[in-house]
Amino acid sequence: MKLSCFIPVILLTISLATQAHAEMAYREAGERLDGWCEEHGIPLAEAYYVDSTGTTVSLWHGDPDLSAAEVAIWPIGSITKTFTAMLALELQEAGYVDLDAALSTCVPEIDDMFSEAALGTVSLRTLMHHRSGLPYQLGEPEDYAPLVPIARLLLGKQPRLGHAALLSTVSGRPLEFEPGTGYQYSNANFWLAALALERATGRDYDDLLQQYVLDPLGLEQTTLWDLPQDCLAMPAHIAVNGQLLDISGWDMPGLGRSAGGIRCSTADLLKFSDALRDREGQGIMSRDQLAQLYDFIDTGGSAHGEPYSYGLGISRRFDGSRWMYGHNGTTPGNRALWRFDPQTGETLIIFSSLGSQGLTGLADEMLAILGELEHADW
């Protein structure tokens, strides 16, 4: 028999071996997700992995109780900051703002807004690098999350606070350092950046985000406030005195606005990731815009002893062999992690229905398991 007759059999054998190896890796990753959730008492979580070929794997711990027509959406917390950075770059491209101009050109009364800080000469770029000196405005989520249900009962329906109102939480506090001389992560940087964008255009942040980011990218399962059609909001929980408290319906989507208010699906966050890759002019972001987004600064810190740096609303972390980009997010009752490789498109998204639980270690382990498939030499 000629050798060519064996080729289909050989290819089939390799295909079956690859499939079996993949299924084993997916099962191992799912077991690690289950173990992590059980360890931390998390009732519901979703992990979504995409390799460089576009193959997707969706892993769940718990039952999301979705109908066949429904899509799960989660609060993404501070991942919102990358959306805001894209908006700022798009508005600069449209001629509305200059990321290096003084904030006083957009917000003339800025120095009257802060009793202990002079920020008139600070730029949008400095804000989005977290180099303004503005302090972190809140304690840890476990400090204030138990108050959320009480506040909602007393106050009724959540007000849609403007960015000026949100900035009042830090307006009476001094800067932690002279602008441009240090790094301090703070939601206030993005509240102030969004206020400047609103003043420069005469339009609300929500409308700007819709026109310049969500609509062009086709993100129909992404929202600040109202649930999109056929979408189901995933639950939220906090731990109080060792007991799990379901605050679904009491959580505050949209409250963080430009710094942490977005909810979206894993599929939409993947679309957003793809828009941040150099696709030879095929995306809405030009190479110059991407270069500005990825102009990383040294934060002077590290993640688990590994280098960590910050761009315009996006971070990167070196795992010993490569940089992965993204952001983490925390809201009262939920936690999110988003990492992607802009070169290959490999992406990992993890959502948890319990706030204040670290996801970094879990992400490292899942990427190690799934990465064996990504880089396997067949």
pTM (predicted TM-score): 0.91
Residue 181 lies in a domain: yes
Q: Is residue 82 part of a domain?
A: yes
Q: Please provide residue 194's backbone torsions phi and psi, each rounded to the nearest 5 degrees.
A: -65, -40
Contact 371/54 with Cβ under 8 angstroms?
A: no
Is-contact 75 192, C-beta < 8 A?
Answer: no
CATH of the domain at 364: 3.40.710.10
Q: What is the DSSP string of 98-165?
A: -TTSBGGGT-TTHHHH-SS---TT-BHHHHHTT-S-PPP-S--HHHHTTHHHHHHHHH-SPP---HHH
Using the Cα atoms of residue 242, residue 247, residue 250 and residue 251 in order, give the sign of their dihedral.
positive
Give the whole-angstrom CA distance, residue 344 versus residue 100.
31
pLDDT digit of tens for each residue in the chain (378 aa)? 444 555 555 444 444 445 666 788 899 999 999 999 999 999 999 999 999 888 899 999 999 999 999 999 999 999 999 999 999 999 999 999 999 999 999 999 998 999 999 999 999 999 999 999 999 866 555 555 566 666 666 666 667 889 999 998 899 999 999 999 999 999 999 999 999 999 999 999 999 999 999 999 999 999 999 999 999 999 999 887 788 888 887 766 677 899 999 999 999 999 999 999 876 656 789 999 999 999 999 998 766 666 789 999 999 988 777 889 999 998 888 999 999 999 999 999 999 999 877 788 899 999 989 877 655 443
CB 51 within 8 A of CB 370: yes
Is 232 among the domain residues?
yes
- CA dihedral (181, 80, 125, 309) in degrees, to 10, reads 50
Q: Which range of residues forms the domain containing residue 155?
A: 41-374
Q: According to the model, what pLDDT value does residue 180 have?
A: 95
Torsion 295-300-304-307 (CA) sign? positive
CB 309 within 8 A of CB 300: no
- What is the CB-side half-sphere exposure of residue 114 using CA atoms within 13 A? 22
CA distance 27 to 25: 5
Task: Provide the number of structural domains found in the chain.
Answer: 1
* Residue 8 belongs to some domain of the structure: no
Q: In whole angstroms, give the CA distance from residue 104 to residue 325.
A: 32
- Of 301, 298, 332, 297, nearest to 312 by C-alpha is 297
**Count, residues in the chain:** 378
Residue 19 resides in a domain: no
**pLDDT number for residue 15:** 47
**Residue at 93 is within a domain:** yes
Q: Distance between CA 312 and CA 129 in Å, rounded?
A: 5
Q: Confirm whether 11 is domain-assigned.
A: no
Residue 12's pLDDT is 47
In a domain, 21, yes or no: no
Retrieve residue 17's tokens.
Answer: 């071996």
3-state secondary structure of 294: coil
Q: Return d(Cα 119, Cα 126) in angstroms, integer.
A: 11
